[in-house]
Amino acid sequence: MKPIRFAIFGAGFWSRVQLAAWREIGGAECVAIYNRTRERAEAFARDLGVPAVYDDPEKLLREVQPDFVDNITEVGGHMPLSLLCAKHRIPCICQKPMAPTLADARAMVTAFARAKTPFFVHENWRWQTPLRALIETLRSGAIGTPFRARLTMISGFDVWANQPALAELERFIMTDLGVHLFDTARACFGEAHSVYCQTHRTLMPAVKGENVATLLLAMGQARTSVIIEMAYARTPVEREIFPQTQVFVEGPRGSLELTPDYWLKVTTRKGTHSQRHPPRRYAWADPRYEVAQASMVPCLRDLLGALRGDWPGETTGADNLKTMELTFAAYESAAKDRVIHLQP
């Protein structure tokens, strides 16, 4: 099958890894890159063999006419550059978080719907090998309908070293890490009916936004009680397992537990069955981000099939809007110190 042509918007840290993941799956060819600082785009193109460089995104869309755009800019570029794609009726994959406000996210989804043009969000967390095994085990009914769960991602890892712009965000951990965990929780348990959230800004005077958050949600038809804990507090706590998510789920027939080093333990009346689900290793992946970067491959494979019309794709803009609604409901809950009810 002839590869479909795409352009990348943004020449930062994740763009290089994401292009490597595209090349891993095949079937798509990067033909151009845009960056507002042309020198960075030129360096990217030179290092990675991209044939065309632009510092004007609209000129790129007019002249190159790519089959789709992968928008891997910082959050400030998500809305304007995605809407530019909608204007030209060019399908777009947008990096997370979709937008800095819920109103902007809704406007983006609406614009693509009106243009009758596909729009997706690059949400790779649910595609991590161990989390995928957890999701599939839950969906198999092995422990019945869950009534309680806990998702934890607490780390002292220095995420600001490669992404210094994160320190400038007024809203940090829930827009950076939280959207991943919320999306994964939705894949596991269904839509949220309510959320109560507390946040803290601790031990990090140079970071503007919150770096610790704790949430209690009621999710799905069973109103499963889901606790989500997240922190980048620059402490030694669980540093060695970054960026692994730990999970414990209870159901009427047993429990599931995802522990460090990718072990999934399924406990039922028959006993406990343990199996390790490590991510596939790629030469281009940073070992410190191994499970997260490896998950880009199945995520992009799903998105490529959706762009070709082979299947709907899991992380459409419309679906991710539910994650954004939950994210901003969590901020509202923290600000008002009360439970916020959502329409699933």
Instruction: Report yes or no on 185 lying in a domain.
Output: yes
User: Identity (one letter) of the amino acid at 205?
Assistant: P
Instruction: Report yes or no on 88 lying in a domain.
Output: yes
Instruction: Report yes or no on 93 lying in a domain.
Output: yes
Find how far residue 227's CA is from the centre of its chain: 19
Instruction: Report yes or no on 308 lying in a domain.
Output: no
Select from 71, 106, 122 the last residue of a domain. 122
For residues 248 and 166, membership in a common domain is answered with yes
* Stated pTM of the model: 0.94
DSSP state letters, 193-255: EEEEEEEE--S-TT--S--EEEEEEEETTTTEEEEEEEEE-SSSTTGGGTTPPEEEEEETTEE
Instruction: Report yes or no on 296 lying in a domain.
Output: no
Which tokens hold the place of 282?
């790629």
The tens digit of pLDDT for each residue in 55-113 reads: 999 999 999 999 999 999 999 999 999 999 999 999 999 999 999 999 999 999 999 99
State what percent of residues in the chain have pLDDT above 90. 84
Q: What is the CATH number of the domain that holds 92?
A: 3.40.50.720
Distance CA 34, CA 256 (A): 44
For residues 14 and 116, membership in a common domain is answered with yes
Q: What is the CATH number of the domain that holds 323?
A: 3.30.360.10
Select from 106, 122, 138 the last residue of a domain. 122
For residues 26 and 167, membership in a common domain is answered with no
Q: Please report, in tens digits, the pLDDT of each residue of the chain (344 residues total).
A: 799 999 999 999 899 999 999 999 999 999 999 999 999 999 999 999 999 999 999 999 999 999 999 999 999 999 999 999 999 999 999 999 999 999 999 999 999 999 999 999 999 999 999 999 999 999 999 999 999 999 999 887 777 777 777 778 888 899 999 999 999 999 999 999 999 999 998 766 678 889 899 999 999 999 999 999 998 876 665 455 678 999 999 999 999 999 999 999 999 999 999 999 999 999 999 988 899 999 999 999 999 999 999 999 999 999 999 999 999 999 999 999 999 999 87
Phi/psi for 64 (5° steps) reads -85, -35
Q: Which residues face 32 on adjacent strands? A: 7
Q: How many domains does the chain have?
A: 2
Q: Which domain holds residue 93?
A: 4-122
